[in-house]
Amino acid sequence: MSTLRTLLLQANILWNDPEGNREHLQSMLGSNGAEYDLAVLPETFTTGFTGDAEMPAETMDGPTVSWMQKVCERNDAALAGSIVISEDGHRFNRFLFVTRDGVQAWYDKRHLFSYGGEDERYTAGTRRVITEYKGWRINLQTCYDLRFPAWCRNRDDYDLMLMVANWPARRIHHWSALLEARAIENQAWVIGVNRAGQDGNGLVYPGASAVHSPMGETLARFGDGEQSRIVKLDLSAVEQTRKKFPFQQDADEFELHS
């Protein structure tokens, strides 16, 4: 599929209220009206960032994963976003990519935000994850990962980077600048979906979700508050950009160590 119709949901996440968030996001998904291939939700969309402190984390067979699959079955589309998952005595900020057939891929956030205490609550992931959907190679990344270009580096192995976040207002300029930079340096589509509203810790989130082309052009940039929009991505733009500007062949070789 050369065109990927992607629905971005910039939602105001309720604090520590998984059921309420599922109902609210269901309403946002239903209100759009148009058909889409992939919907992208913010980071920790059931609780807010570290909003699970007073409640048990979910498991992979819990209500949110089940809800995601039902949404996919109902809309014949994929759904992506992160939630807190408990597994083998550890908590993970896990980015799930779900289709009507179930969880197709998942990525545990590698760079935990120590400045906000995330490293004290969760276990860091160790593997970089790229999944294929409708002919697109999709790289899954979460919030703080955006600051680490080596982790995000294209190795001719992905066409689209999904970056989901709870990125606060005080550093929103960094969010916008780094999303554009990741698109330019990796010659890939980049979608960044941030939350809106205010969380239980008093942090304000201005949204500013965006879509950038492999040339770094801005196809969509959201303002403040809740918004949703479908953006059509063209796969041929990746090949054309890399063919016309073959910068990747001059990239430095390196290895990542966990």
Q: Is 109 a catalytic residue?
A: yes
CA torsion sign for 202, 93, 209, 20 is negative
Annotated catalytic residue 143:
yes
- Number of other CB atoms surrounding residue 101 within 10 Å: 10
Of 58, 72, 118, 143, which is the active-site residue?
A: 143
Among 58, 109, 152, 180, the active-site one is 109
43 is catalytic: yes
Question: Rounded to 5, what percent of the chain is helix, strand, coil?
Answer: 30, 35, 40
Give residue 230's identity as a one-letter amino acid code.
I
Q: Which two tokens stand for residue 145?
A: 């990962």
Of the candidates 238, 164, 184, the residue with the CA atom closest to the CA atom of residue 10:
164
Contact 194, 42 (CB under 8 A): yes
The CA distance from 69 to 53, in Å, is: 26
- The catalytic residue among 43, 58, 118, 180 is 43
Instruction: Please give the order of strands across the beta sheet that includes 38-40.
Output: 102-108, 90-99, 78-87, 38-40, 3-10, 227-234
Active site residues: 43, 109, 143
